[in-house]
Amino acid sequence: MDMSRRSFIVSSTAAAAAGAALAQAQAEAQPAPAQPMPAPMPRGFNPSDPALKYELVIAGGEVLDPSLRLRGKRDIGIKNGQIAAVATSIPADRAVQRIDATGKLVTPGLIDLHTHLCPHLGLGLPADEMVGITCTTTAVSAGDAGANTWGVFHHLALPQSRTRLFAFVHISSIGLAGGLAPGEMLNIDYADVDRCAKVVSENPDTALGVKVRITDNVVGQNGLEPLRRAIRAAELAGRNARVMCHIGAAPGNLSDLLDLLRPGDVLTHSYSGAGNNTVQNGQLLPAALAAKKRGVIIDVGHGGGSFDFTVAEPAMQQGMPPDTISSDIHSVSINTPGYPTLPWVMSKFLALGMPLEEVVARATWEPAKIIGRVPGLGTLQVGAPADVAIMELIDGPVEFVDTRNNKRSGTKKLVPVLAIRAGRPFGRPPLPTPFIY
């Protein structure tokens, strides 16, 4: 059949456009590595104005912001819910309200990548009630809701919380509505790929991707099929949706599971000692090290049964330190001896020899980059959300216990003092009047 030059050009252009669209779709099907967000921009004030009046000043604390490579005594000025200044000294007459943080450690508000802070679903706790013991101002609900229960997170937990919330949508359509009762994946029909992908795709501001639990009493005879479906749902959802995969007594060869994870996916409970661990006979699995090297995010997810010092120590020594430190706090784990509040879990990594700057980064700046939706989140940059954690770094003997009753001694611990979200303290004065947000 003859084809005119014009027809050829039109068809070639269409084919090129289709190819470009396909390439873009394929790129969006892969989760992005953790990337710094664009610089935040101040809104409603000029940070260079010498007469600027700050609504709140946090004065005299030891400020630690890994994103700025900053550690030293500073004052922090807050305006319009944003960081407006980080300075050696801010005059008292430029502050409407003032918090004396002398002798305290001041960091960006803590960010917990693995929580269950969605009440009325299984294990969920109310986020704001936890802030006093966690200093967590941003949290990620790790699969509390599936497609059929998403409304509980979206219409109840999210609008009722001052805590900034995001979520991974469970590949099981019922999510974790059954709490610790095993088996949301015993019936593979609950793993509805299209429905899960639809929820993730339709909620780009809050849904980070797909959660799946691969434990023998959760998946039964279905093996790795729930993970394969979770990956497929994330690919269908596009826009770099991630998979968060829970391990601990996973069925089969753990290396087969690890090999499925893509760069940018999250392996949580990475130091679990529940069985079929990432460290076996004292050696880190080659597949675990390979996953780390290709960009799989290594997350702690302490919880009530998922952190073992005898796994974490060799894993870290052999090349698999955590990318993010998270708590897996929920209504069962909070009552266990391991006490997985985020500052306490961070303190355990201090005991394992991780420098304070790195510990704080893994609970602020690093998870913020994985969330990737709020410029300046996890930092104290001017224009960033005014989310701040004030803690005491206490020197002295302290004993830590993991979830397998192994004990380790430390010399430092982080103790929450006060958390501030968007410039408004939680739980105690000074509080703004009127209190609006």
What CATH number does the domain containing 143 carry?
Answer: 3.20.20.140
As a whole number of angstroms, the distance between CA 426 and CA 210 comes to 31
pLDDT of the residue at 109: 98
pLDDT score of 115: 98
Cα 77 from Cα 97, distance rounded (Å): 10
Alpha-carbon span 138 to 94, nearest angstrom: 29
CA torsion sign for 46, 52, 57, 61 is positive
Rounded (5°) CA angle 358-282-285: 75
Which residues, 6+ apart, have CB-to-CB distance to 78 below 8 Å? Answer: 54, 55, 56, 57, 58, 84, 386, 388, 420, 423
Q: What is the mean pLDDT for each group of 10 consecutive residues in the chain (437 residues)?
A: 44 45 54 78 96 97 97 98 98 97 98 97 95 98 98 97 98 92 90 98 98 96 98 95 97 98 98 98 98 98 98 98 98 97 98 98 98 97 98 98 98 98 94 89
Residue 65 in 3-state DSSP?
strand
In a domain, 3, yes or no: no
Domain assignment present for residue 45? The answer is no
Q: What is the DSSP letter of 385?
A: B
The two structure tokens encoding residue 120: 């009325």
Both tokens assigned to 102:
């002398």
User: What is the pTM (predicted TM-score) of this model?
Assistant: 0.93
Beta bridge partners of 87: 75
Q: How many CA atoms lie within 13 A of 200 on its CB side?
A: 32
**DSSP element (H, E) containing 421:** strand 407-421
Helical segments of 153-269, H only: 193-202, 216-219, 225-237, 254-260
Q: What is the pLDDT of residue 178?
A: 86
Please report, in angstroms and rounded to a whole number, the separation of the first and last CA atoms in the chain.
67
Q: CA-to-CA distance for 36 and 374, rounded, in angstroms?
A: 10
Position 273 in a domain: yes
**Residue 65 falls within a domain, yes or no?**
no
Exposed (0-12), middle (13-18) or buried (19+): which is 241, by Cβ within 10 Å? buried
Number of structural domains in the chain? 1
* Structure-token pair, residue 97: 């309200």
Strand partners, 135: none
Asked whether residue 395 is domain-assigned, the answer is no
Owner of token pair 């709020």? 374
Has residue 436 been placed in a domain?
no
- Asked if the structure places residue 435 within a domain, the reply is no
User: What is the DSSP secondary structure assignment for residue 191, as one 8-state letter?
Assistant: B
402: Cα separation from own chain's centroid: 21
Asked whether 164 and 174 are in contact (CB, 8 A), the reply is no
The pLDDT assigned to 37 comes to 76
Domain span holding position 242: 109-371
Instruction: Give the sign of the dihedral formed by CA 248, CA 183, CA 207, CA 25.
Output: positive
pLDDT of residue 428: 87
User: Which ranges of 66-165 does DSSP label H, i.e. alpha helix?
Assistant: 127-134, 150-151
The predicted-structure confidence for 136-163, as pLDDT tens digits, reads as follows: 999 999 999 999 999 999 999 999 999 9
The reply to whether 341 falls in a domain is: yes
Contact predicate 235/269, CB 8 Å = no
pLDDT of residue 5: 45
